[in-house]
Amino acid sequence: MKLRPVIWLAASALAVLTACAAFKTDSHKTDKTKDKPPPEPPKLVGRIASIPADKRFVLIQSYDEWRIETGTILTSRGADERTANLRVTGEKLGQFAAADVQSGLAQVGDAVYSRHVPKPPDPPTVSEPIENKGLPEK
């Protein structure tokens, strides 16, 4: 019966190894969460001051200096949970800026919000152009 101590030793080693694995922390997962900044909440940038009769664009009265790039998508929200997506046209006069209505229903007095979306990093540049030799001639 020399086999019993070997089996007992193997079983206890297996139990110790599985118990240690249960307490292991994934350090690479916690490092990723530390590097990523928390998402920024939407910023209140103004209110809808007027809407022409055709309702294809709105004039936004800005609460601060207008620093929003042309083509940026803004969101408006009304008191009754109504929302609309607005695309900045780039036209502005004083504290008013124009935006096209992309979707939803906008009304005068609705709050206008901007969400900062960071630009993706530039792809790496290729130092040498790739030579295209084409198909071999026959």
Q: What is the CATH number of domain 53-114?
A: 2.40.10
Asked if pLDDT for residue 127 goes beyond 60, the answer is: yes
Query: What average pLDDT does this structure show over 55-68?
Result: 90
Annotated domain spans of the chain: 53-114
Residue 53 CA to residue 37 CA, distance in Å, equals 43
The 8-class DSSP code of residue 39 comes to: P
Q: Kindly state the tokens that stand for 51.
A: 């809407």
pLDDT in tens, 2-19: 667 667 777 777 676 666
Long-range contacts at 47-50 (CB < 8 A, ≥ 24 apart):
47/109, 47/110, 47/111, 47/112, 48/76, 48/106, 48/107, 48/108, 48/109, 48/110, 48/112, 49/96, 49/108, 50/108
Q: Kindly state the tokens that stand for 34.
A: 């530390």
pLDDT in tens, 68-97: 889 999 999 998 989 999 999 999 999 999
